[in-house]
Amino acid sequence: MNARDHATTTARGSDLARQIVVLSAVSFMLIAAVIGSGAFGNTAVEDQQGGALDTDGSYLAPAGPAFSIWSVIYLGLIAYAVWQALPRQRASARQRAMGWPIAVTMVLNGLWLVAARFGTLFLTVVVIVLLLAALGWAFRTAVVTRDPRGGVVDSVLIDGVTGLHLGWVTLATVANTAAWLTTVVPPSWEDAADAIGVAVLVVVALIGLAIAWRSDWRVAPALALAWGLSWLAVERLTGEPTSTPIAIAAVIVALVVLLPPLAVSGLRLIRPSID
């Protein structure tokens, strides 16, 4: 196996099918994203489900600018879909391992937007939990099949993009679930919103650290998670509903999940033998 094509020597009939499926999956995701953005005059995502998915839909919703990370993730997925379709990637062992899981995440990404537009709020929770599970599978596969000879493009478009997707959807799952619960629990529960929100963020910290540990301290998931947590803090300090305890907890958790992977990465740059 060489660094240029990271491939096995013989292509299989299923390899072309895999490439086509990935291209079809990213096309479906993009069509769903355009519709979900309200580009054709329909209701945008944040205004669907009675506004439950907007930044004021729950105590755990991040501020609007946080969602700009989708542009980075989508561009990365588009670039991956084009790159994996190149002839020299067809018989790649790495692509054989990663193409199908990433295609599943693209489809579920699009299905979430369909569920938000045409389904129920509970259905969006079901779909995003499935998306989170698929991303966990995809990212774990990326880590296990990692080949240091794969090159920068391989690292960025597989490990990097999948990691960002996983980190962001981890927080998005929390926000989506909180939005749904806000519509079904008794109003009296709001008196305990600060305590519940802080407790949930503690769990998020544990999940973020677990992802980092299981991925050999990859930085990408932590970056996306810390990004979302930072904007959650901004929204709780400047938006509605306001919660200073949740905002402070969000900042602390962002540091907790981000600093260890950054520290390990820094040590590896200084002392490569640490691996």
DSSP 3-36: TTT---SS--HHHHHHHHHHHHHHHHHHHHHHHH
Instruction: Provide the pLDDT for residue 6.
Output: 46
Distances (CA, A) of 84 to 50, 77, 122, 271: 39, 10, 34, 33
- Give the model's confidence band at 99: pLDDT under 50 very low, under 70 low, under 90 confident, else very high: very high
pTM confidence score: 0.91
Per-domain residue ranges of the chain: 13-274
Instruction: Provide the pLDDT for residue 11.
Output: 73
Query: Counting Cβ atoms within 10 Å, is residue 92 exposed (0-12), middle (13-18) or buried (19+)?
Result: buried
Residue 140: how many other CB atoms lie within 10 Å:
16
Average pLDDT over residues 108-136: 94
Q: Which residue has the tokens 């479906």?
A: 28
Answer yes or no: is pLDDT of 250 > 60. Answer: yes
Answer yes or no: is pLDDT of 149 > 70. Answer: no
Answer yes or no: is pLDDT of 5 > 80. Answer: no
